[in-house]
């Protein structure tokens, strides 16, 4: 089914068909012809060929979102936020990295061949320190490393992390263990560094081992199994995890080991996933509004596509949600 067939059916030519299906026919095609064309389109079920259109125009209506693997439910939120904002002017397509990898600059180049209208990159790796020139706008998010680049949207962890450090101090903790994610993303590095600083300023200290786990419940369980005794021997009475999913593994393993939470070991983490309200015990967590992040990034991209002026991006607020685990 091609524009030529539609043209034949409507007894006209492909130029007029193209103008009408793209809504660019005002003052160029008579209302009568336009109606005839629309009828033919409906009747034949014609859909514009994206490849041909993108080739002719230079780009299509695709917005590509590069995201790390989706096992962390946090990303579902982000994606929903992006989707909501893009609406149907643009077609959102996701590309997901291999398990445990972060989007890298090379993948960006690979997608240039698709001639997207724009690209969003969630939690890019360090190769994005400088964003490569592309024919389309690129918006990064959860990309604290690329601070110099105006097209990055990030969280403002400071207030929530301060609250968490204060809460730890208030509860009498002195030594705190940290369970990091094994993906070496900038956002994880920042969480850890900021927490270490905040905790230190309250006179506590973060165990400086470098315990990491896949951001999955089972990965975190294994890491906890291997480190729990050592953490406690080192004096840790609390463990902070870089993501809720990691904290779930800590909870499971502590339970198995007969370690009571929060009495023997307090636990807190980052994300505040919906299921964190129903773990045993309910999890204290720094809420990261994923959908808001996705929306903000998508709005920024759309503004660039519309060539509207761009405000400096505002970091998104985070808050500590206190529950029973700490």
Q: What residues line the site for a copy of itself (CB under 8 A)?
A: 45, 47-55, 60, 64, 69-71, 73, 75-77, 79-80, 83-84, 91-96, 98-99, 109-110, 112-115, 216-218, 245, 248-249, 251-252, 255, 274-275, 277-281
**Helix (H), strand (E) at residue 138:** strand 138-141
For residue 24, the partner it binds in DNA, a copy of itself, none, with Cβ less than 5 to 8 A by kind, is DNA
Tokens of 58: 């230079």
- CA dist 14 and 58 (Å) reads 19
For residue 184, the partner it binds in DNA, a copy of itself, none, with Cβ less than 5 to 8 A by kind, is none
Q: What angle do CA 181, 165, 157 make, to 5 degrees?
A: 60
Please say whether the beta carbons of 220 and 248 come within 8 A: yes
Query: Hey, which residues between 44 and 103 contact DNA (CB under 7 A)?
Result: 46, 48-49, 52-53, 55-58
**Least CB distance to a copy of itself at residue 308 (A):** 25
**Least CB distance to a copy of itself at residue 292 (A):** 15
Name residue, tokens 């050592």. Answer: 230
| DSSP symbols for 48-74 | --HHHHHHHHS--SEEEEEE--TTSTH
Residue closer to a copy of itself by CB (options 161, 302) is 302
- CA dist 310 and 308 (Å) reads 6
Cβ-based neighbours of 314, under 8 Å, separated by 6 or more = none
Query: Hey, which residues between 22 and 41 contact DNA (CB under 7 A)?
Result: 22, 24, 27-33
**Least CB distance to DNA at residue 94 (A):** 24
For residue 61, the partner it binds in DNA, a copy of itself, none, with Cβ less than 5 to 8 A by kind, is none
């Amino acid at each position: 089914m091609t524009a030529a067939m539609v043209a034949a059916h409507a007894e006209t030519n492909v130029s007029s068909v193209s103008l009408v299906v793209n809504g660019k026919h005002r003052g160029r095609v008579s209302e009568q012809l336009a109606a005839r064309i629309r009828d033919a389109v409906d009747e034949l079920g014609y859909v514009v060929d994206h490849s041909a259109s993108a080739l002719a125009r230079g780009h299509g209506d695709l917005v590509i979102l590069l995201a790390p693997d989706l096992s962390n439910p946090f990303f579902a939120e982000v994606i929903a936020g992006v989707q909501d904002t893009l609406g149907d002017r643009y077609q959102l397509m996701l590309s997901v990295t291999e398990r445990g990898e972060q989007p890298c600059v090379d993948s960006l180049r690979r997608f240039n061949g698709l001639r997207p209208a724009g690209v969003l990159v969630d939690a890019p790796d360090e190769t994005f320190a400088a964003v490569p020139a592309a024919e389309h706008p690129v918006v990064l998010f959860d990309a604290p490393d690329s601070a110099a680049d105006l097209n990055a949207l990030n969280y403002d962890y400071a207030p929530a992390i301060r609250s968490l450090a204060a809460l730890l101090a208030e509860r009498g903790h002195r030594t705190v263990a940290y369970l990091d994610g094994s993906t070496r993303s900038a956002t994880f590095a920042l969480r850890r560094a900021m927490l270490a600083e905040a905790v230190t300023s309250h006179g506590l200290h973060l165990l400086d081992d470098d315990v990491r786990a896949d951001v999955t419940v089972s990965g975190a369980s294994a890491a906890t199994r291997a480190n729990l005794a050592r953490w406690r021997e080192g004096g840790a009475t609390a463990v902070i995890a870089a993501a809720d999913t990691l904290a779930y593994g800590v909870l499971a393993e502590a339970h198995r080991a007969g370690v009571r939470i929060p009495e023997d070991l307090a636990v807190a983490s980052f994300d505040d996933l919906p299921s964190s309200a129903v773990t045993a015990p309910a999890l204290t967590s720094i809420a990261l509004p994923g959908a808001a992040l996705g929306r903000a990034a998508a709005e920024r991209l759309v503004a660039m596509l519309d060539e509207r002026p761009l405000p400096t991006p505002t970091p998104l607020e985070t808050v500590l949600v206190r529950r029973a685990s700490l």
